[in-house]
Amino acid sequence: MSNIDVKGNKQNWMYSDIVKDHFFNPRNIVEKDSPNWVYNGMGEVGSPACGDVMKIWILVEDNRIKKCGWKTFGCASAIASTSILSEMIIGMEIERAEKIGPGDIVEKLGGLPDNKIHCSVLGDQALRKAIINFKEEYA
């Protein structure tokens, strides 16, 4: 008991260090309503009432995802999972990107609390919608 360190606010964070890093330093975010770069696929999932909304924009060139940007309304794991997903897919062939499932994202994040897994499920769904959008409207 005497070893409990109550000095800082760094103790026993509920998420992994990877989640924490992506939550506080999210990668590839879109700051305005839409990207300031050319994209050819966009997907959106979730609803504000459920507490999670994710939007993903992609630029596909030569069958590969060249660029990816996103916006997320949600908790730490929702934000971190979209952020890490955006890193995972840049440079990836769309056939592989389509196959990414929630488990892949959770694994990359170094795990998530059980009740938070539903959040990351949304990231891959938004991505698949963006790829469908690309195929239907741009390809």
Partner 1 sequence: MGKELPKNNYIYFDYAATTPVDQRVLLAMEPYWYKVYGNPSSLHLKGREAKVVLDDCRRLVADFLNAKERNVYFTAGGTESDNLALLGYLKNFDEPKRIVISDIEHKAVVRVAEHLEREGWKVERCPVDLNGLIDEEQLEKLIDEDTVLVSIIYANNEIGVVQDIAKLSKIIKDKNAKTVFHTDACQATNFLNMNVEDLGVDLLSFSASKIYGPKGVGVLYANDNLKLGPMIWGGGQEKGMRSGTENIPGIVGMCEAIKIVEKIKDAENRRLFLLREKLISGILNTIDGVHINGDRKKCLPNIINISVEGVEGESMVLYLDEAGFGVSTGSACSVLDLKPSSVLLALGMSEELAHCSLRISLGRYSSEEGVDSFLEIFPKIVERIRKFSAV
Supply the minimum distance, in Å, between the C-beta of residue 139 and partner 1.
25
CA distances from 14 to 11, 53, 74 (A): 9, 22, 16
Residues 18-77 that bind partner 1 (CB under 8 A): 23-24, 26, 29-31, 44, 46, 48-51, 53-55, 70-77
- d(Cα 11, Cα 1) in Å, to the nearest integer? 15
Considering 119, 122, 126, 127, which one is annotated as catalytic? 119
| Helical pair 117-137 and 76-89, crossing angle rounded to 10 deg | 40
Considering 14, 17, 25, 50, which one is annotated as catalytic? 50
Instruction: Please identify, using beta-carbon distances, which residue of 36 and 115 lies nearer to partner 1.
Output: 115
User: Is 68 one of the catalytic residues?
Assistant: no
- Taking CB under 8 A as the rule, does residue 97 contact partner 1? no
User: Is 75 one of the catalytic residues?
Assistant: no
- d(Cα 110, Cα 120) in Å, to the nearest integer? 13
